[in-house]
Amino acid sequence: MPQSLGGIELKHLGSEQIGSGADSPDAFERLLQGETQKERYRTLLNTLIEWRELFVARRVLDFGASAGTSTAALLQLGAAEVIGVEPDLDRVKLGAPLLAQAGLADRGALLHVSDTSSLPFSDGEFSFVLANAVVEHIPRPREHYIRELWRVVARGGRLMINELPNK
């Protein structure tokens, strides 16, 4: 019998599977307001599961984390720790309690970083960096921001830029 997470069928990945086998939404999804937010979360889970081997059991940076939807998805899919950075303090204030209520705050956090072109992390601190649905919101020229993302990626790590709906 296939397992699912929020109605998404989850694949066998080695000897383990993700989720509890329930067909109901996970704790984070249940906290989201409105079907649009829930659908975006499910879509992100579907996208990230294909790339899970890049971040499972690793320390991850979620760049432009907003209210933590991508942070929660990374944690649900097996990231060891996720630090989300977001320049909008109101989004951090909205998302941090959601992570806590979903039981994810022990492995995930949202940080307000007003200038994301200069991240408060050491070189090579993260094995995986995700920039989801954020690049189009970065002021031009964007080269400095992209260089900053690469700066915090560990040797052999990966940077994933996903979802550029507005290019």
Average pLDDT, the chain: 86
Q: 88-118, pLDDT tens digit by residue?
A: 999 999 999 999 999 999 999 999 999 999 9
Q: Where are the domains of the chain?
A: 3-162
Q: What is the pLDDT of residue 8?
A: 37
The CATH fold assigned to 3-162 is Rossmann fold (3.40.50)
Helix residue ranges, H only, 63-152? 69-76, 89-101, 143-152
Indicate left, alpha or beta for 119 from its phi (over 0: left) and psi (-120 to 50: alpha).
Answer: beta
Q: What is the helix (H) or strand (E) element at residue 38, kind and residue range?
A: helix 35-49
- Which residues neighbour 42 within 8 Å (Cβ) at sequence distance 6 or greater? 6, 7, 8, 29
Q: 14-49, pLDDT tens digit by residue?
A: 323 344 333 346 999 999 999 999 999 999 999 999
